[in-house]
Amino acid sequence: MGTYFNPSNGGFRKSACDEIYIDKSGLLNILNKKLGAERNCISVSHARRFGKSQAARMIDAYYSKGCDSKELFSNLKISESEDFEKHLNKYNVIHFDISSFADFYKETLVSEIIRHLYDDIKEDYPELDYSKTISTVLKQVYNKSQNTQFVIIIDEWDCVVRNFSDKPRLVHEYLQFLHSLFKSEEAHEFLALGYITGILPIKKINDESALNNFFEYTMTDSAELTAYFGFTEYEVEKLCCKYGMNMSSVKDWYNGYLINGEHMYNPNSVYMAMVRHSLESYWKNTSAFNTINTFISLDFDGLKSDIMKMLAGGLVYVDIKGFENDLSMINSKDDALTALIHLGYLGYDKDKKTAYIPNYEVKEAYQSALAKGKWSEISKSISRCEELLFSTINEDADRVAELLELSHDTYVSVLKYNDENSLSCAITMGFFTAPAYYTIIRELPSGKGFADVVMIPREDSVDKPAMIIELKWDKDADAAIRQIKEKRYTGILKGYKKEILLVGVNYDKQSKKHECVIERVTDC
């Protein structure tokens, strides 16, 4: 039993015994079908904090000869499989987290990885010839262990490609090392399963074929692996029930990643929300959110308006096919948006080929990024959002009109059009921070038409009134209030027992002035 060779099940045992553990052992059923197959290598590239490392520790515990994990898996889904014991702790396992080496070694990275592995193997096989290539040494282990094949797990495999793009010799040496593990002649005999994880899909590198035999699972297409990374909606519902959390609020905070038709939640954030019983932005405290600014500040035509459209709740078409899976090679608006998708800072609808801001947690991350970035006018406008919300709740119509005017002036220059849709976007951006308290719906069918904006308090914000906002163009705000009443937009809130604010907003195109009228009602 070693650190890198035939590791123990300690890492996974700690996860499985945690206060919150979601059984993802069904993943092993899929991996078992790939053991020893012609195509037995898979690559999982998902955003940080989406459960990749925990899955890798589970794979250790299940396959490694260095431990006995029957009891650990006995109550998990994999134990129901007829092949459960056939593969349990039957393989030589190698597991490396490459990022832990990249932090300490630069030019000697590959040699240090091999040295650490050999130190482990020598404890069991001191007689081997360690002057040979790594593939030859692993073949010797295979022979000495009665033809026991290897399961090789490389976590954060892509950190070398991402972080050392200025060191092509090192990248080449590293890829040759991976070739020895996964594609050499010896590997065809000793390798039962190759499993690598990373943030980005595999980069297409000229004249390098180390990883072209991998099945890829990404943030845009995870196929049959989707449910095993992140938390599914059903899993989150069960946690909300157990911990007394409001599912609707949790959904708005952490849902939004639509992958192969499955709604996925950031597991780290859901975990923290349940344990602390508090809805907050947990991901931004563990991720490099200045990455957002790196990409949204690029001067590609249309990028800024697309980002603003998504921040206002819209969808944006993205061509993801041209992205070279390299953060140092962003050559277009589509490249920048695709990078943000793979990093988890945008959601992606594969069927519609559109990107969007997935949830309020990520929206807050953009707010933090903008506060430190180049878009000072946007950041300044967002900083006024809380005042706008509470001015509306307090029925200060004149101040609401002033703040909406400032918001509209900011965003119309970005969005490059001057019409009712621009006003609607400005309204949504003006209430940028309101999703912390409200579910916001635009163009909601109600009564005899569509209410422009409806804001419904979350169950944990019941002290706040609901709002129906109607927008007018070159008319007057009173006309907006009349339309709400005449078309019975309040019908959407039928049965709502608390107060409702009717908010009428008019924009005068000539004067560019905004007018607001607010009326409080209690009878729907």
Closest CA to 225 of 236, 213, 214: 214
Eight-class DSSP state of 341:
H
pLDDT of 416 reads 52
pLDDT of 248 reads 87
pLDDT of 233 reads 94
Beta-bridged to residue 316, according to DSSP, are 355
pTM over 0.85: yes
E runs forming strands in 314-465? 316-317, 347-349, 354-356, 438-446, 449-457
User: How many H helices and E strands in the chain?
Assistant: 23, 16
pLDDT in tens for each of the 524 residues of the chain?
679 999 999 999 999 999 999 999 999 999 999 998 888 999 999 888 888 889 999 999 999 999 999 999 999 999 999 999 999 999 999 999 998 888 788 778 999 999 999 999 999 999 999 999 999 999 999 999 999 999 999 999 999 988 888 888 998 899 999 999 999 999 999 999 999 999 888 876 655 566 888 999 999 999 999 999 889 999 999 999 999 998 988 998 999 898 988 899 999 999 999 999 998 888 765 455 567 878 887 878 888 888 888 888 889 999 999 898 888 889 999 999 999 999 999 999 999 999 999 999 998 888 888 777 777 778 888 888 999 999 999 999 999 999 988 888 887 665 554 556 677 777 888 888 888 888 888 777 766 667 788 898 887 787 889 999 988 888 889 999 998 888 887 777 776 768 899 999 998 888 888 899 999 987 65
Contact 321, 335 (CB under 8 A): no
pLDDT of 31 reads 96
What is the residue type of 491? G
DSSP per-residue string spanning 217-247: E-SS--GGGGGGSSEEHHHHHHHHHHHT--H
Residue 156 corresponds to which tokens in the numbers above? 């954060």
Residue 406 CB: number of other CB atoms within 10 A? 18
pLDDT of 209 reads 61
pLDDT of 418 reads 53
- Distant-in-sequence, close-in-space partners of 396: CB < 8 Å, separation ≥ 6: none
What is the residue type of 166? D
Beta-bridged to residue 259, according to DSSP, are 262
pLDDT of 284 reads 66
Per-residue burial over 12-29, b if 16 or more Cβ lie within 10 Å, else e, is: bbebbeeeeebebbbbbe
Beta-bridged to residue 347, according to DSSP, are 356
pLDDT of 448 reads 66
